[in-house]
Structure 1
Amino acid sequence: MKIDAWIREGLDRAVEDARLSEEIGFDGAWNSEAKSDAFLGLVLAAEHTQRIQLGSSIAVAFSRSPMNVAYQAMDLQRYSQGRFVLGLGPQIRPHIEDRFSMTWSKPAARMKDFVAALRSIWHSWATGEKLDHRGEFYRHTLMTPNFVPPAVPDSAPKIYLAGVGPKMLRVAAEAADGLFVHPFLTERYLHDVLLPTVAAHRLEDDAPLELALSPFVALDENDFEAVRTKMSFYGSTPAYRPVLEAHGWGDLQTDLNALSKQNRWGEMPALITDDMVYTMCSVGDEKQVAADLKRRYDGVVQRIRFNRPGDQVGPVRFAGLVDALRAVE
């Protein structure tokens, strides 16, 4: 099981966090896209590291064209000497339509077409064959030599997709190299819904789908309360209701959603019980958390990132936890 780090958002932190991630011994480092661009910081991270894999977790697909992403991803793959992983997610409808002013429809089918378009573009660049992608949502049929990137790498970047519900899990199983498993997750949902869905739709001839999980961890009381708050935020979103329903907690999503629409965010964490936090979060000192993570996920997921929501913390925060997890492997 590979252990990955978070790169905090903002260009001013990318170099420090990437360097420290490599020095501490992480296998990879990922950034996110909430308050800054997903790709720019990874250029700096690639420049100042030599070993670790680097990726976006996630870049918002539907705010972009597949052609835009194809160029950016291939630039990063070439510049990092093959260490880049392209992580994509759909976001949710209000953000795509009202924040990005882009089109939202059939997100699972659209994401599958997006990935197919990327692979068609990269194939055309690598082989010189005519570009001819004609999908339900994206059409790419023009590529002249003047627009083919120089020195196309031998291998295209791997593509990881974010998914929670059955439809997007199926897309990841059918079209992607890896799946970002959302931190709003329980062992029951992982084993009863996620893994069977992936197994049912992954072709036998394909390489196994790589699972990358960012589980909640709490090393102290502040961490514990930060996880509670984040769970209340995620739990208000209809897309994550199936996780709650797996435990008979579906009505909680209705209550959290109602409070969020009234802008009563401060009242939402109180609806998350301690038992709910323990169900989703590994809690204790570094040795206890490491042992619990191994118990929950060893042999099930291929990559793991420690998730302490709230105030952003750099890789050093988890240096001891990396050592503790290595010690129990």
Structure 2
Amino acid sequence: MTEPRYGMTIPFDDVPLHAQADWVRELADLGYTDVWSSEANGADAFTPLALASVWAPSLRLGTAIVPAFTRGPACLAQSVGALAQAAPGRLAFGIGTSSNVIVEGWNGIPFEQPYQRTRDMVRFLRAALTGAKVTEEYETFSVRSFTLGVVPEQPVPILVAALRPGMLRLAGREGEGAIINWLSADDVATVKPHVDAGGPGKEIVARIFVAVSDDADTVRAMGRFAIAAYLNVPVYRAFHEWLGRGEQLGEMWRLWGEGDRKAALEAIPDSVVDELIIWGSAGECRERLDAYVDAGVTTPVVALLPFGFDEREAAKALSESDLTPAEPITVVLSEKGWIRAAKGHEIEPAGLAYREGDAFLISLRARSNQSLAIVDSGGRAYATPCHTLPSARGQGEPLSGRFDIPSGQRAVALAASDAEARWLLCNSHGYGFVTVFGNLLSRNRAGKQLLNLPEGASVLPPQLLPRPVDDLSVAVATNTGQLLVFALSELPELDKGKGNALIRIPKSKREAGQEWVVAVALLGSEQHLIVQAGGRTLRLKPADLAPFRGERAQRGGHLPRGLTRVDALRVEGG
């Protein structure tokens, strides 16, 4: 089974949309991978996701769901295509029948042939989102000569809301998976086989109602209102009869039908409330979310119930219960700026498949619960949570979907660690400084200026300072074979900037492009420095480094003949 994704339902209740930016930005930092919107009596499904695409460019965006009836085919394709183009590779489009209440009661549209309408919309969108001209007679509508003008850069997965066997099988057969609402963890075993019949690897999104509270009386009382509001809708009543709750809910349905709302609410058993609504401490809620995952849900989506509890604090509390595991991953970046992450540290990144005309650039070993910093060729830094990166089983996604990297610049360096870890940042003209990792992180799509690069200078790979740092030295090598080793303590610690000179490069050679720094390494007092030059390797033990030791900004020593064209420095031992 693939690693689960964890979603949050947006927008939050009782907070104006414009005031939710910080809330949404926090979700990725808290370990959530997705945000999902619905379309009932609040906001439409697309506007909150469009805002979230800018506020939190690492989060996947999902609709759960858009009714198949309330937009015409072309209008729906335009909405999906525009959002998918605005957030490349990040949209999961969920569509479903909705209900007679919303479709007919609120929108005045006949709620007829819901299965066929949903199926036809899925088939139409499959064709339209490719940019092909669509002329087709579907069972429930026809389309003449429609061509979508905003074609997504990457295919948009389509998931189908499903509550009964026929629709569940449709979701598995013609969609990438199913979206299911109002079910218990034990119910997953009933619905999942129908989706899986469509083939392996299907996504199952479950919208799960959560109240982080130990107040049983309040949760159950308010929960009964929510359950009655949904489960008296015919499609949900049929769903729960199929799941086997007919006997438990029969009295509630009878009383509701007779108009006795108070008695109907009282007839909902505590056991049903406790099955369908997760409540309790944050740890207890997290355990129950895990039960859905264990049962086969790939994407549990939290819907925080507005029972007078602080939704923002509830989202934080859930994340404090280890929402994101700390697993080893390898981040892989291609030359054309496509990024992905593979499980473990044992993979060979250069051996992965790349898009035509693209190739491996750099990789980084990290952990899934860390933040990833990306530095571009102009010295700007961007950040995204590692756990939101696409899997290396595919070809990844373009960084342009997450960040606004300036024209003419490209991503050239990666870093990941705890926020308080310290890093050495350098450029090819021989300047550098030490900074804490938190200074590499930015929530803005446009990133922030981290390195002030002299004209013609390039960014060198960031170096993580090991702990302790008391006896660390910096080794700097140029393309002409100059090597200088000096104490790390001679470098300043800055938030951003150009830094201080590491090694002296004659101005005439630097400006003529004849000499530059090619490699930097950090080494302890007992470690060996390995110099790689072409096919040759030189091992310098601590005693061998004496000719190259000096103070920062000195010229250093010259490497032996045949080893002057340095490719890389690395450290061993100690």
TM-score when scaled to structure 1?
A: 0.85
1:208 is the counterpart of 2:201: yes
| AA aligned opposite 2:252 | L
Identity %: 23
Please list the CA deviations of residues 118-173 of structure 1 after superposition, one character each: whole Å capped at 9, or x if unmatched.
Answer: 111112x1xxx442332111222313xxx6425x3331322122111122212211
* 1:300 Cα deviation from its structure 2 partner: 0.8
* 1:14 Cα deviation from its structure 2 partner: 4.8
Give the counterpart of 2:187 among 186, 189, 207: 189
1:68 is the counterpart of 2:67: no
Cα 1:149–1:93 change in 2 (3 A) is same
Does the 8 Å CA contact 1:217/1:223 hold for their aligned counterparts? no
Does the 8 Å CA contact 2:160/2:175 hold for their aligned counterparts? yes
Which residue in 1 is equivalent to 2:373? none
Which residue in 1 is equivalent to 2:196? 199
Does the 8 Å CA contact 1:11/1:41 hold for their aligned counterparts? yes
Which residue in 2 is equivalent to 1:172? 171
Does the 8 Å CA contact 1:8/1:17 hold for their aligned counterparts? no
| Structure 2: gaps (5+ residues) | 327-574
1:228 is the counterpart of 2:214: no
1:309 is the counterpart of 2:289: no
| AA aligned opposite 1:319 | K
Cα 1:26–1:79 change in 2 (3 A) is same
Please list the CA deviations of residues 245-265 of structure 1 after superposition, one character each: whole Å capped at 9, or x if unmatched.
Answer: 367531454443444445544
Give the counterpart of 1:2 among 5, 21, 26: 5
Which residue in 2 is equivalent to 1:154? 153
Which residue in 2 is equivalent to 1:323? 320
Cα 1:314–1:160 change in 2 (3 A) is farther
- In 2, the alpha carbon distance for the partners of 1:78 and 1:296 equals 32
- In 1, the alpha carbon distance for the partners of 2:286 and 2:269 equals 23
What are the residue-to-residue correspondences of 1:288-303 with 2, within 5 Å?
288-298=284-294, 300-303=296-299
* 1:311 Cα deviation from its structure 2 partner: 4.5
Please list the CA deviations of residues 189-227 of structure 1 after superposition, one character each: whole Å capped at 9, or x if unmatched.
Answer: 321x31122233x0x4xx522011122334322334332
Does the 8 Å CA contact 1:215/1:307 hold for their aligned counterparts? yes
Does the 8 Å CA contact 2:220/2:270 hold for their aligned counterparts? no
| AA aligned opposite 2:149 | P
- In 2, the alpha carbon distance for the partners of 1:101 and 1:136 equals 21
Which residue in 2 is equivalent to 1:279? 275
* 1:68 Cα deviation from its structure 2 partner: 0.8
TM-score when scaled to structure 2?
A: 0.51
* Larger deviation, residues 105-114 vs 251-260: 251-260
Higher RCO (CA 8 Å, separation ≥ 6 residues) = 1
- How big is the alpha-carbon RMSD for the aligned residues of Structure 1 and Structure 2? 2.6
SS at match of 2:53: helix
Aligned residues: 315
- In 2, the alpha carbon distance for the partners of 1:285 and 1:61 equals 38
SS at match of 1:231: helix
* 1:21 Cα deviation from its structure 2 partner: 1.8
Does the 8 Å CA contact 1:20/1:315 hold for their aligned counterparts? no
- In 1, the alpha carbon distance for the partners of 2:80 and 2:141 equals 18
Does the 8 Å CA contact 2:39/2:67 hold for their aligned counterparts? yes
Please list the CA deviations of residues 16-69 of structure 1 after superposition, one character each: whole Å capped at 9, or x if unmatched.
Answer: 442232232310111222222211222222122210011222122211112111
Does the 8 Å CA contact 1:112/1:171 hold for their aligned counterparts? yes
| AA aligned opposite 2:85 | R
Please list the CA deviations of residues 62-87 of structure 1 after superposition, one character each: whole Å capped at 9, or x if unmatched.
Answer: 11112111111111111123212212
Which residue in 2 is equivalent to 1:112? 119
* 1:179 Cα deviation from its structure 2 partner: 1.4
Does the 8 Å CA contact 2:10/2:37 hold for their aligned counterparts? yes
| AA aligned opposite 1:240 | Y
* 1:91 Cα deviation from its structure 2 partner: 1.5
What are the residue-to-residue correspondences of 1:24-103 with 2, within 5 Å?
24-34=30-40, 35-103=42-110
Cα 1:67–1:315 change in 2 (3 A) is farther
| AA aligned opposite 2:162 | G
* 1:267 Cα deviation from its structure 2 partner: 3.6
Greater radius of gyration (CA):
2
- In 1, the alpha carbon distance for the partners of 2:234 and 2:133 equals 42
| Structure 1: gaps (5+ residues) | none
* 1:242 Cα deviation from its structure 2 partner: 4.6
Does the 8 Å CA contact 1:21/1:315 hold for their aligned counterparts? no
* 1:295 Cα deviation from its structure 2 partner: 3.1
* 1:284 Cα deviation from its structure 2 partner: 2.6
Cα 1:94–1:280 change in 2 (3 A) is closer
